[in-house]
Structure 1
Amino acid sequence: MENATANWFPILSEENGDFKRLKRTTSVGELVESNASSNGSLVRVNSTSSLSRLQFRDHIWTYSQRYLAAEAVEEAAAAIIGTEDGEKEEQGNEDGMKLVQQLISCAEAVACRDKSHASFLLSELRANALVFGSSFQRVASCFVQGLADRLALVQPLGTVGYVAPKLNIVEIGSERKDEALRLVYEICPHIQFGHFVSNSSIMEAFEGESSVHVVDLGMTLGLPHGYQWRSLIQSLVKREGPLPRLRITGVGPCVEKLQAVGNELETYAQSQGLNFEFSVVESNLDNLKPEDIKVVPGEVLVVNSILQLHCVVKESRGALNSVLQIIHELSPKVLVLVEQDSSHNGPFFLGRFMEALYYYSAIFDSLDAMLPKYDTKRAKMEQLYFAEEIKNIVSCEGPARIERHERVDQWRRRMSRAGFQPAPLKMLTQVKQWLNNINATEGYTIVEEKGCLVLGLNARSYLPLVVPIEGKSTAGKLSGPRDGVECALDFA
């Protein structure tokens, strides 16, 4: 899981410890991170095209060899130390390997439209993929749900076209979803990291300006109380010099919800003595038009997108190109983009499945380090937030598939084609200090990588990508636990 943050600026031309820890409580990332080459050597294949060229039984063989080797080391260590729980550890590794094999075999059966074999495997998986089990059992339970939903859509061989989903999924209430999102925000550092890097980039863009305007696409995921913008208001008030005038435009389909956040922000800004104005544009990104955004001469404009733009990455690419073109026409000084740096939008189902399994198993590993096994807060985050993303990636196709996360390099190319270019980030020390101050789980790190700030856990990265833009903009990379990635980028 990796989060990357970067800033982009539009190009404007004249034309326009102990033994038990060393023993294998096998991490989920280890279960799925290795792929096999044709001669059986262990390699890490990042591209889904490379994944698709391999036979899945090769993957299974690789996992088997990996675990046989791990078991041999553990047995030797157990014999030396004289521990009595060697058999339990060995059994746990065997169970984990079997679960991986079953998941991959089931995905292969679903991809081949083998309903009878897939149904048989699903029944076995449901007995072993436990919501309150090990981290891999828990993540497997989410993938089992997605595979079952996809299997329900499987049409006989020879069927042409895509059948819209008619899934027997229990609709999750919006209040429960909101609670799960709030817990993710409060407990996991990834979204907070995106907000911090975004606000730091915005503060740089606002230096010396008297009137500033932020357009927030998706209004920061629909989080209540406007956490990101409260922090920005605090920073503006603490800054030396006269207070600027701040205007925020929230873009989203739910006017009532956004206006409630705006009313809170107006009250808070007034208490801080800041001249503040809030407005709402009722629109999703697909239907956004340049005239929807009111631009006032003399204002410095910033566009902020937190985990939103991947939802308009379609097969045709036209929707995203249209949105980026609209943003470029607004001539913002900074565009802040936060997106998962992961490959969940490949053209082949099996490739996407393997990438998602690797990515989300790392996230679930990180949650293991944060909360105890039977904590209901963790269950809510996993089953009401991350599981929804997993099910969409695994079970949906066409317009129904909105979780289309892509790698930071792909975002760079998209931004470049849309007329933006990267600008250097200057806040690595500042962001590292922020990480220390929030007392995040041990193992989180922040590094600069290819012009991006990367937030990772145990040398792996997982979650969203952030990108600020200016008439000159900034770019960087954010990451979550280092098996999935979140990035923040600045572009000019």
Structure 2
Amino acid sequence: MRCKSKGKVNEMNLDMPSHISDDHSLVLSTTTIMKIAKEQLKLYTSQNHDAYSIIFSPLIADLGLSPQVTEEVELVLLLLVSAEMLANRQLDCARELLNLCINFSLSAGNPVQRVVYYFAESLQNRINKGTGIQPIAAKIDAVNPNIMEDVLMDPRTDVIETEQMLPFRKVTQFTGIQAILDSVKSFKRIHLIDFGIKTGSQWTILMQALVGNGECPPEHLKITAVGTSLIRMQEVGKRLTSFADTLHIPFSFKTIVSDLRHINKDLFESKVGEVVAIYSDSRLWTLLAWPNHLQSLIQVCKSLDPCVMVVTEIEANTNTPIFIDHFNEALFYYSAIFDSLETCIGWNHQYRAVAQGVYIGRCRGRRKTTQVGYNTYKDRLQDNQPNILHQFTKRNSPLY
């Protein structure tokens, strides 16, 4: 994605990341492409252009962009106009433009094309659902949210390796583990509660660190996993038990088969003398559609009196009741995600489809509009649990 000249683009004050190559062309990130398109939409709107004149307007040519970048800006602009029409209930026009977006983009293309493709499909499904039209076939290669828990708990090599190839996953995971280790290493009996254990591989790191703590080796480590897939959790428990045996750590694994909305304190079987640590990796956002249940879960956590609660969670204002606002917020989030996937995995890597399935698919379950946004959610945690250390590892929100 290159630009022949910086002059007109820099006049837009986009504060964009760039790298000047030997041929003095500008490499633009996907988020920068989105910013350019959004600025162009503002310009068109201020001049009272209608939708179709916006599409065929020559104004983009004045920016001095290369042909490839021009095409990408035009494609994003097409998507933005489609979203504006949907917000204004111009459904027929929005559907026509979304069909163009889908025809001109690819789920296996460059990051801009992939973002436009997925968003166009989602907006089209939104229109169809609102008008009672059943989609002919689902084209999006996202993971069905109903089986997302199974996918994230799958010990297959491709799932594990995909997670390990993404730096933001490593940073959030190791930061959380270190926070727990620092808080529990001086205790003999440790009860770790995990609201979404996935493959459980993160806790092998904690076990090794506890064993290496010669001053106070644990007398017993108990992990309680919360989830809806009993078979998967039992498989995780067997692997962790086997690993603990190799390290000679007294270990027990408990399961709570329940949705987070129906958790209560009595399910955890906490014992006197145990220090409790709670770990929640990108799980609490699923309760934003049910603020009362989120409040209830926080109260349960408080009643367990943990010495530490580690929350790795999303941060973006994508849960607002105004459609176009959370659309734009989510668009920039996915632009950053797809740039990251492109850099860390590459467009033709065998595991890229897995990563797209996980990071696109996990966002498609809860779409219920609610007034509760991230800041309200964070405030509730802080207000209700002042005695708990919160490690908020910031990431953008997939809650579109």
Q: Which bin holds the TM-score, normalised by the shorter protein?
A: 0.7 to 0.9
The secondary structure found in structure 1 opposite 2:201 is: helix
Match of 2:102 among 126, 148, 155: 126
Question: Cα–Cα, structure 1 residues 206 and 165, in superposed 2: closer, same or farther, change >3 Å?
Answer: farther
- Tell me the residue number matched to 2:184: 206
Match of 1:347 among 321, 345, 351: 321
Per-residue deviation, residues 25-61 of structure 1 (Å, max 9, x unmatched): 4311112347669997xxxxxxxxxxxxx99989x99
Distance, in Å, in 2 between the alignment partners of 1:240 and 1:187 is: 32
Question: Cα–Cα, structure 1 residues 333 and 268, in superposed 2: closer, same or farther, change >3 Å?
Answer: same
Question: Cα–Cα, structure 1 residues 65 and 381, in superposed 2: closer, same or farther, change >3 Å?
Answer: farther
Per-residue deviation, residues 83-107 of structure 1 (Å, max 9, x unmatched): xxxxxx6111211111111111111
Distance, in Å, in 1 between the alignment partners of 2:392 and 2:39 is: 29
Q: CA RMSD in A?
A: 3.6
Question: Cα–Cα, structure 1 residues 146 and 405, in superposed 2: closer, same or farther, change >3 Å?
Answer: farther
Contact 1:152 1:167 in 2 (8 A): no
Distance, in Å, in 1 between the alignment partners of 2:175 and 2:217 is: 21
- Tell me the residue number matched to 1:435: none
- Tell me the residue number matched to 1:365: 339
Deviation of the 1:373 alpha carbon: 3.0
1:116 equivalent in alignment to 2:92? yes
Q: 1:375 is matched by which residue type in structure 2?
A: H
Deviation of the 1:110 alpha carbon: 2.2
Aligned positions of 1:28-47 closer than 5 A:
28-33=30-35
Q: 2:332 is matched by which residue type in structure 1?
A: Y
- Tell me the residue number matched to 1:276: 251
Distance, in Å, in 2 between the alignment partners of 1:255 and 1:229 is: 19
Q: 1:138 is matched by which residue type in structure 2?
A: R
Q: 1:305 is matched by which residue type in structure 2?
A: S
Distance, in Å, in 1 between the alignment partners of 2:334 and 2:216 is: 46
Number of positions where the alignment pairs a residue of Structure 1 with one of Structure 2: 364
Q: 1:169 is matched by which residue type in structure 2?
A: A
Deviation of the 1:117 alpha carbon: 0.8
Sequence identity, in percent?
23
Deviation of the 1:191 alpha carbon: 2.5
Contact 2:275 2:306 in 1 (8 A): yes
Q: 2:21 is matched by which residue type in structure 1?
A: F
1:333 equivalent in alignment to 2:307? yes
- Tell me the residue number matched to 2:26: 24
Q: 2:389 is matched by which residue type in structure 1?
A: T
Deviation of the 1:154 alpha carbon: 2.0
Distance, in Å, in 2 between the alignment partners of 1:329 and 1:55 is: 58
Q: 1:90 is matched by which residue type in structure 2?
A: S
Deviation of the 1:24 alpha carbon: 3.5
Q: 2:388 is matched by which residue type in structure 1?
A: S
In structure 2, stretches of 5+ residues that fail to align are: 1-18
Deviation of the 1:142 alpha carbon: 1.1
Per the normalisation by structure 2, the TM-score is 0.80
Distance, in Å, in 1 between the alignment partners of 2:350 and 2:59 is: 33
Contact 1:212 1:247 in 2 (8 A): yes
Contact 1:142 1:391 in 2 (8 A): no
Distance, in Å, in 2 between the alignment partners of 1:188 and 1:56 is: 43
Aligned positions of 1:174-323 closer than 5 A:
174=147, 178=154, 181-219=159-197, 222=198, 224=199, 226-244=200-218, 245-314=220-289, 317-323=291-297
Deviation of the 1:192 alpha carbon: 2.4
Per-residue deviation, residues 455-490 of structure 1 (Å, max 9, x unmatched): xxxxxxxxxxxxxxxxx433344346xxx479xxxx
Contact 2:226 2:257 in 1 (8 A): yes
Q: 1:188 is matched by which residue type in structure 2?
A: L
Distance, in Å, in 1 between the alignment partners of 2:269 and 2:48 is: 53
Per the normalisation by structure 1, the TM-score is 0.66
Contact 1:28 1:362 in 2 (8 A): yes
Contact 1:249 1:280 in 2 (8 A): yes
Distance, in Å, in 2 between the alignment partners of 1:275 and 1:21 is: 62
